[in-house]
């Protein structure tokens, strides 16, 4: 045993702060005050006799020593957590999933009964996240995001590709058909808005229209979930993603006025820390999710 061994709570505070690059967010995750996190980091720096973070202009970054230390202790912390879960007979292994809220509601929740039948020894904690850019702010064992992963410490597994196409309630069409995209101008268009991501209408029009359509009547919603719900209510026509509207299409509560579908260049993905590949609860969920969702998408196609 080394002569100077750091306290576990200080290591957890350091790992959380290094991952989130924020004393405040680390404190929120560990249910501690910002001051407590700062003291624990200072205690660790004193023990190591090196500076782990650069603190400048109300922002922090890892020093070279801090980055090296993080790389070495992360696998050890993961091993401690895994060993505790495997040996403990008093509680189940808890799997924390951070998942985009619409995917959670439309895809993950309906699928979870299948996972629980296979792995009743794993307790699920699900955190819905609004906005693909917010996944990085969460603490999770497994994350389900969308687009381009910006967290280099993650192992990423793309889910099957997504198609986009306009959808609406059949009641909205009143038995009529749409012959060309320009017919959309006669209806209310439902958009999902995000601070960093443009919605899918422009991508679909770029592939199917000679020139972009300028819609005369639009309603915007924050997030895809409300947009789809608005379409189900007959409020207008939204751009559907095949991942998120499989059930509605099968049941006929939504219909696609056009045959044209556009395959997106970006995907939903499953991700976890690279050091956690063989952690049993994460491995079980990863293997189940990739098999289940690949099968579901093949069925939907």
112 close to 124: Cβ distance less than 8 angstroms: yes
Nearest to 208 by CA among 172, 163, 152, 161: 163
Is pTM, for the whole model, over 0.85?
no
Nearest to 11 by CA among 85, 70, 97: 70
Number of H helices, E strands in the chain: 11, 12
CA dihedral 215, 217, 219, 224 (to 10 degrees): -40
State pLDDT tens for residues 161-199. 889 999 999 999 888 888 899 999 999 999 988 655 568
pLDDT(85) > 90: no
Domains in the chain (CATH in brackets) are 8-86 (1.10.10.10), 92-160+267-300 (3.40.190.10), 163-263 (3.40.190.10)
Q: Residue 90: pLDDT band by 50, 70, 90 thresholds?
A: very low
């Amino acid at each position: 045993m080394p002569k100077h061994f750091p306290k576990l709570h200080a290591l957890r505070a350091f790992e959380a702060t290094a991952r989130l690059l924020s004393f405040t967010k680390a404190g929120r995750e560990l249910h501690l005050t910002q001051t407590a996190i700062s003291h624990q980091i200072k205690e660790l720096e004193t023990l190591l006799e090196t500076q782990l973070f650069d603190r400048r202009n109300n922002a922090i970054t890892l020093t070279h020593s801090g980055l090296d230390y993080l790389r070495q202790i992360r696998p050890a912390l993961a091993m401690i957590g895994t060993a505790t879960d495997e040996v403990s007979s008093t509680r189940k292994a808890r799997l924390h999933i951070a998942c985009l809220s619409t995917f959670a509601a439309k895809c993950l929740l309906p699928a979870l009964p299948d996972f629980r039948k296979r792995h009743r020894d794993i307790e699920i904690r699900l955190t819905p996240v609004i906005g693909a850019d917010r996944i990085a702010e969460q603490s999770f064992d497994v994350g389900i995001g969308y687009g381009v992963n910006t967290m280099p410490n993650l192992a990423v597994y793309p889910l099957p590709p997504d198609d986009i196409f306009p959808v609406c309630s059949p009641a909205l069409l009143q038995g009529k058909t749409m012959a060309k995209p320009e017919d959309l101008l006669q209806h209310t268009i439902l958009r999902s808005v995000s601070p960093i991501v443009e919605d899918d209408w422009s991508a679909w029009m770029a592939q199917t229209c000679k020139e972009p359509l300028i819609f005369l009547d639009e309603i915007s919603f924050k997030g895809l979930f409300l947009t789809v719900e608005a379409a189900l209510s007959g409020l207008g026509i939204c751009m559907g993603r095949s991942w998120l509207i499989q059930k509605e299409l099968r049941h006929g509560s939504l219909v696609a006025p056009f045959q044209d579908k556009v395959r997106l260049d970006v995907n939903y993905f499953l991700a976890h820390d690279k050091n956690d590949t063989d952690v049993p609860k994460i491995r079980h969920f990863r293997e189940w999710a990739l098999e289940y969702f690949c099968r579901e998408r093949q069925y939907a196609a």
